[in-house]
Amino acid sequence: MTLTEERSAPETETAAMEQSSARHAMIVSQLRTSGVNEPWVLSAMAAVAREHFVPEAMRDAAYIDRAIPLGNGRFLAAPLVHGKMLAEAAPTKTDKVLLVGDGEGYLATLLRPLAGSLDTVDPAAAAGMTGEGGYSLVIIDGAVEELPEAIGAQMAEGGRIVTGLTVRGVSRLATGCKTAGTVSLLPLAELGIPALPEFAAPKRWSF
């Protein structure tokens, strides 16, 4: 072993311990104190290393309670956002899930072991989806101003949806279901959810 290797091994081990401690603090001081207490949600988030999903320069900030910029206008939402989304979605092994977001990202990694199946679509491509996907659960990793009809068309009758919803500049967690072919969203708690520009409402004239 070289001297460099001898020095780097303890440093790597120390960094891993620090990240594990930060993950525990996230669960205790961010999730639990904000009402996310479902054991399966906490277990899922304790098992996934958020630091692997942010730029290397941001790894020390992976567990802060705010969104982290990923580049190209994308963000990793704060831990509480994903904790609340998981709790509201309550995915099970009977669910066929569509995630509108990064297929290799943090939320996809959390969802994959919980769902029966998981398909993903980039937000930029979501409005162009065709056909009926028959998804029992759709999760949008970000806040929308308008929900494209193409996403609703992918949902099975009675299917559920969890998303961020921005109304007059305020983002909230929202849930809904598809009934008689129509998707209705119910805004819940106000939450700082990163906006998805692909789902911005068209600009309207005002006088």
* CATH architecture, range 3-199: 3-Layer(aba) Sandwich (3.40)
Distance between terminal CA atoms of the chain?
A: 73
Own/partner contacts of 55-62, CB < 8 Å, gap of 24 or more, are 59/19, 62/19, 62/22
User: pTM value?
Assistant: 0.89
Both tokens of residue 207? 């006088």
Q: What's the pLDDT at 14?
A: 74
Q: What's the pLDDT at 6?
A: 47
Domain ranges of the chain: 3-199
Q: Please, is 153 exposed, middle or buried when counting C-beta atoms within 10 Å of its C-beta (0-12, 13-18, 19+)?
A: middle
Q: What DSSP state is assigned to residue 37?
A: -
The dihedral over CA atoms of 119, 125, 131, 136, expressed in degrees to the nearest 10, equals 40
Give average pLDDT by consecutive 10-residue segment, the chain, 207 residues: 46 75 95 97 96 94 94 94 98 98 97 98 94 94 95 97 95 97 94 94 65
Q: What's the pLDDT at 206?
A: 53
